[in-house]
Structure 1
């Protein structure tokens, strides 16, 4: 109860109902419905996120989960070393990535958000989050780690199903990882990073179905900016595209619809398309799954890991076909 009392006191509200809901809390208060969220990072990072949302609102993109301020004017409550944020409870449903019309709306919204992000100067006491210029290094490091994980398996006397699938598939993904790195190194990546740094824009960094909320009029709210940072916009686009495409069998029509809808707001240059292609090529999902398995990042069952890995391998041909079609379509 201490927590509820402190939340009430610091945000000057009275909580009538509190319910856990998908990693956050639904609150019914004397001032309306609210979303309470426990934050797993520090106040300086949170101030960067808060400032980013306020910047978007100031630039006309107000469909975000805006933070309420506490009685001291800070966007959080501090309870026993834990940080909590309070925002409006947004009614709506998650974006359906199988529905091409909703995917188009989401792509267009992403472009509007990127445009509104330009010119962001983070608050003085915040921590600047940036991945600009890091991706050649990150790709090279992740390609090397594929070898490291293979060597870990070779030392095991008893090998799991996941180990065996990994051993037979790793070279394929390492090869396309190297191709992605070559694409990125041969592109204007660093110039685009310098331009993004100069225009002071940022990316959402987790633009996926559960963070894109549509109401009954199909108006979109973008929520959960916890990972937002300075980054080239093609990272957000590729991340979003992969999350859509893996659900629709790597359907090129969806890929084209995303690019077209984004371009209807803000046109991607040929240089950006090349970087986008490098991100699409890179086997990020494969690396992440293996990394989670070998470094115990997620407590899934053994079977779940092996099934996910096998599912990814079963898509290889469709994935390669999409890359080929994309390259041809955009003359890369």
Structure 2
């Protein structure tokens, strides 16, 4: 019987008191500290670089999910079925509450703090994708989906809503590409390479744990070398979508980050461009195109309809929030 990797725990110098299933792994209460056992799917080389980053953050007082070594001093352990696993330090806390202004700002402050420490010798094989290439590819995909639906004919609410709204969102996508080309993005990217700045890659409310007196950050598996302001954008977008594009909250988030790690005029410009691109529309469209089209999720249709209802508010938010550099 498959044991979810439980047998590999024998390879570690610890005593497991209890286990419970958790998101993406097995939560283990041990005689040392809580830990999470997860199946390892990525490359060992990148995992070693991730551990180097985590240890650096830990040495600077940050609470992060460092990997625990097994008895052989290895980060990866293999069970009797030949499946690879890792064991990471864990923390007893709650995920950041997206309805709590205090916790949101706490998470933003934590992001700014770890960004100041997140630097390693640059390895271009782990450099984030060029944003210009990403935006152009996404725009091409939106056109491809438009052609696909037009050719077969819209047969469900999602497809009908898509065809009614795609031109407006595509125009925003093209605007973002043009803004990016005219911006100092290339200089920002070159500076990131030279300084070896590292991005978390998936900084969201699920990867920020609020403890009694501190904050822990987890989920670094998507780390990359790149422009760190992208992490702030992704966190802000997730929060602001849920708050109806609350500009006062956005300004507080920006000020909180800037107080700890100053936002340059070039980064401010880059944030504006990122908030111009219709990323959520592309995500919903891509999910539709890459999944079973015989049954379209009602939830996805509702998300698309909500996005369309908010499109003018989202557009106005970007223009008002980033009208001028405030620092």
> Out of 171, 190, 196, which is 1:194 matched to?
190
Taking the TM superposition and a 5 Å limit, the aligned residue runs for 1:245-284 are 245-284=240-279
Partner of 1:12, secondary structure, is coil
Q: Greater shift after overlay, 135-144 or 100-109?
A: 100-109
Q: What CA distance in whole angstroms lies between the structure 2 residues aligned with 1:188 and 1:238? A: 17
Query: 1:61 Cα deviation (Å)?
Result: 4.2
| Number of the residue aligned with 2:65 | 65
Inter-partner Cα distance in structure 2 for 1:329 and 1:98: 28
Instruction: Spell out, residue by residue over 1:51-82, the C-alpha distance to the aligned partner (whole angstroms, 9 max, x if none).
Output: 22122223x14211111111222222123443
Name the TM-score, length of structure 2 as normaliser: 0.92
Q: Cα offset for 1:329?
A: 4.4
Q: Describe the SS at the equivalent of 2:63.
A: coil
The alignment of Structure 1 onto Structure 2 pairs a total of residues equal to: 325
Partner of 2:77: 77
Match for 1:236 among 214, 219, 231?
231
Q: Give unmatched runs, 5+ long, in structure 1.
A: none
> Shift of residue 297 of structure 1?
8.6
Structure 2 match to 1:305: 300
144, 167, 171: which one aligns with 2:167: 171
2:157 matches 1:161: yes
My pick for the range that moved more, 256-265 or 154-163, is 154-163
Q: What's 2:43 paired with?
A: 42
3-state DSSP class of the match of 2:27?
Answer: strand
What is the alpha-carbon distance in structure 2 between the residues aligned to residue 300 and residue 222 of structure 1?
37
- Residues of 2 paired with 1:297 and 1:198: CA distance? 43
1:129 paired with 2:126, answer: yes
Question: Is the alpha carbon distance of 1:299 and 1:53 closer, same or farther for their aligned partners in structure 2, counting shifts above 3 Å?
Answer: farther
**1:19–1:25 contact (8 Å) kept in structure 2:** yes
Relative to 1, partners in 2 of residues 1:87 and 1:299: Cα closer, same or farther, differing over 3 Å? farther
- Report the CA distance shift for 1:180/1:158 in structure 2 as closer, same or farther (over 3 A): closer
**Which range moves more in the overlay, 159-168 or 4-13?**
4-13
| Equivalent residues of 1:291, 1:297 under 8 A apart | no
Change (3 A) 1:61 1:121: farther
Tell me which residue corresponds to 1:205. 201
Please give the per-residue CA displacement for 1:211-238, whole angstroms capped at 9, x wherever unaligned. Answer: 0111122x11010101111110121111
Q: Judging changes above 3 Å, is the alpha-carbon distance between structure 1 residues 275 and 63 closer, same or farther for their aligned structure 2 residues?
A: same
Q: Tell me the alpha carbon deviations over residues 125-154 of structure 1, each in whole angstroms, 9 at most, x when there is no partner.
A: x9942115x110110111111100011112
RMSD of the alignment, in Å? Answer: 2.4
